[in-house]
Amino acid sequence: MPIKVQSDLPAKEILENENIFVMDENRAMHQDIRPLQVCILNLMPVKQDTELQLLRALSNTPLQVDVTFLMVTSHVSLNTSANHLNRFYTTFAQIKNKRFDGLIITGAPVEDIAFEEVDYWQEVCAIMDWAEEHVTSTLHICWGAQAGFYHYYGIQKRMLSEKLFGIYSHKVQNRKVPLVRGFDDYFLAPHSRHTETSAADIHNCDRITVLAESGEAGVFLAYAENGRKVFVNGHPEYDRYTLDVEYKRDLGKGLPIHIPRNYYPDDDPAQKPNLQWRAHCNNLYTNWLNYYVYQATPYEW
């Protein structure tokens, strides 16, 4: 898939070096098609890493995607420069009168804070409410999924006794749903979180359909309103070394952390981690874009 981004976005050169087709504005203007308009509300602290991971995940269909990066204004980012945000990000006030084919709401490092105490909670709620009328399908990731479960259905998150951290196996449910088309019966995906939305609470909500679940990590994938809302309780977009960086960061800070489950060969952090989830990540994003964005969105809003 050609991903359309600004020509000077740092992720563009990295993706091109990975042989991923990235298109700048000039070339896109000469293609006589309507690209999918996808907005990414990036709440992660190191925004460049998440940009790269999500753009890579969106790059595997023939569809052209025009990406808009969105930031909150009710929080000052300490890990991404103001220059980067000013050059590549927009605000909700600037796009609230526009319509988008897809919206991605990322995770955020605020799990141990009550939703209402997060400084940008009201802004995120306003964006989720806006998406009901202005977006064809919204993909909620990790904390973004927990926020969606709470905001839409009143399902509260809860603290875990220890960090859920590593690569976990999940079983596909409801195989006839297009979102899991092409998935194996069991597949692996990364998790990195201190909280969870109870699997029982999700199953007890008749407005939500569970599509993949783990005995260890709980519900991984669910959807509602025939795919207008999609919830991913993990990080399939993570690259090979993301958990490695998190593990060594927490060790360096003296935080309680165990070796990521099923990640390093022989549980040896000196060894190169195995990349075991990329194919299903690509499949998930391709299915979302094709069946719930491209096939469902009108040609003209």
Alpha helices in the chain (DSSP H): 10-17, 25-28, 47-57, 82-88, 92-95, 121-134, 143-153, 199-204, 242-252, 278-287
Q: CA-CA distance, 211 to 175, in Å (whole number)?
A: 8
Q: CA-CA distance, 124 to 92, in Å (whole number)?
A: 10
Of residues 51, 142, 170, 191, which has the active-site annotation?
142
Residue 39 annotated to the active site: no
| Residue carrying structure tokens 């360096």 | 252
Q: CA-CA distance, 163 to 125, in Å (whole number)?
A: 26
Q: Which residues contact 236 (CB under 8 A, 6 or more apart)?
A: 57, 189, 190, 277, 280, 281, 284
3-state secondary structure of 51: helix
DSSP 196: E
Residue 237 annotated to the active site: yes
Q: Quick check: 218 and 160 in contact, CB under 8 A? A: no
Q: Which residues contact 32 (CB under 8 A, 6 or more apart)?
A: none
Q: CA-CA distance, 230 to 221, in Å (whole number)?
A: 8
Residue 196 annotated to the active site: no
What sign does the dihedral 22-28-31-33 (CA atoms) show?
positive
Of residues 140, 170, 191, 235, which has the active-site annotation?
235
Tell me the residue type at 31: Q
Among 290, 244, 286, smallest CA distance to 136 is for 290
DSSP 292: I
Of residues 111, 191, 237, 281, which has the active-site annotation?
237
Question: Which pair of structure tokens corresponds to residue 176?
Answer: 């006839």
Residues annotated as catalytic (active site), given as ranges: 142, 235, 237
